[in-house]
Amino acid sequence: MAARSKKVLLKVIILGDTGVGKTSLMGQFVSHKFSNQYKATIGADFLTKEIQIDDRLVTMQIWDTAGQERFQSLGVAFYRGADCCVLVYDVTQPNSFRSLDSWRDEFLIQAGPRDPENFPFVVIGNKIDLENRAVPTRKAQSWCTDKSNVPYYETSAKDGLNVEKAFEAVARNALAREREVDQTQDFPAPIKIPDNDQPPPSKGCPC
Ligand SMILES: Nc1nc2c(ncn2[C@@H]2O[C@H](COP(=O)(O)OP(=O)(O)OP(=O)(O)O)[C@@H](O)[C@H]2O)c(=O)[nH]1
Ligand SMILES: [Mg+2]
């Protein structure tokens, strides 16, 4: 029998301080390319990549955003409909780790998901190829555990280390969540059983 194949489109948004490597991660994942030169992202831009997750062909539409404040002008409409949000920090920059809270809050305010506590986030600690690491893994891991067990990955966009794994987790996480939403929607409408304490329906139908 032919394998069941369903096409899915996932909208993924990458957020994090300027210079943490958001554009580099996307470039490494989508085109296996990396440049040491820094070019600030202005506004937002997306790339797509198709990946196979079990029996499903998943098109990831990955939105790279600007970390520099003066280039941030994304409205609510941009965040709405996101299936997963990737929060990136640089393991050599403690400030970028401390910013994760505000990036998460900002996303939840703007996107307004129905169930904010369980919205699928993935956290990436990038630049692990560098020697001057300043944020310990357990600190980042503990932040993620506190936030309803957000998956945590450490990557190097430069070497490509763990990049594929992290984005696969993004897709899996979003798909798992989609299934949950589907299930609640498939539930039949509850049948109302009249409460015995309620007064009987009024007699004398006007019709
Ligand atoms: N060594 C090392 N350098 C990296 C890595 N990822 C990114 N960089 C470098 O860090 C700098 C910033 O990377 P970007 O990907 O442009 O950062 P960004 O988060 O997109 O920055 P904004 O667009 O301003 O928000 C660039 O010079 C990259 O070459 C990494 O994993 N290792
Ligand atoms: Mg960028």
- State pLDDT tens for residues 56-114: 999 999 999 998 977 666 778 889 999 999 999 999 999 999 999 999 999 999 999 99
Q: What percent of the chain shows pLDDT beyond 90?
A: 71
The whole-number pLDDT of residue 44 equals: 87
Residue 74 has a pLDDT of: 74
Enumerate residues lining ligand 1, CB below 6 A.
Answer: 16, 18-24, 35-38, 40-41, 66-68, 126-127, 129-130, 156-158
Output the average pLDDT for the chain.
87
Considering every ligand atom shown, identify the ligand nearest to the alpha carbon of residue 16 and give its number.
Answer: 1
Q: How far is the CA of 61 from the centre of ligand 2 (A)?
A: 16
Closest ligand to residue 71's CA? 1
Q: What would the 3-class secondary structure string for the chain be?
A: CCCCCEEEEEEEEEECCCCCCHHHHHHHHHHCCCCCCCCCCCCEEEEEEEEEECCEEEEEEEEEECCCHHHCCCCHHHHCCCCEEEEEEECCCHHHHHCHHHHHHHHHHHHCCCCHHHCCEEEEEECCCCCCCCCCHHHHHHHHHHCCCCCEEECECCCCECHHHHHHHHHHHHHHHHHHHHHHHHCCCCCCCCCCCCCCCCCCCCC
Say what the pLDDT of residue 78 is. Answer: 85
Atom of ligand 1 nearest to the CA of 27: 15
Q: Please report the pLDDT score of residue 1 as a whole number.
A: 44
Instruction: Read off the pTM.
Output: 0.86
All structural domains of the chain, each given as residue ranges with its CATH number in brackets, are 6-186 (3.40.50.300)
Over 90: is that where the pLDDT of 141 sits?
A: yes
Gap from CA of 201 to ligand 1 centroid (Å): 69
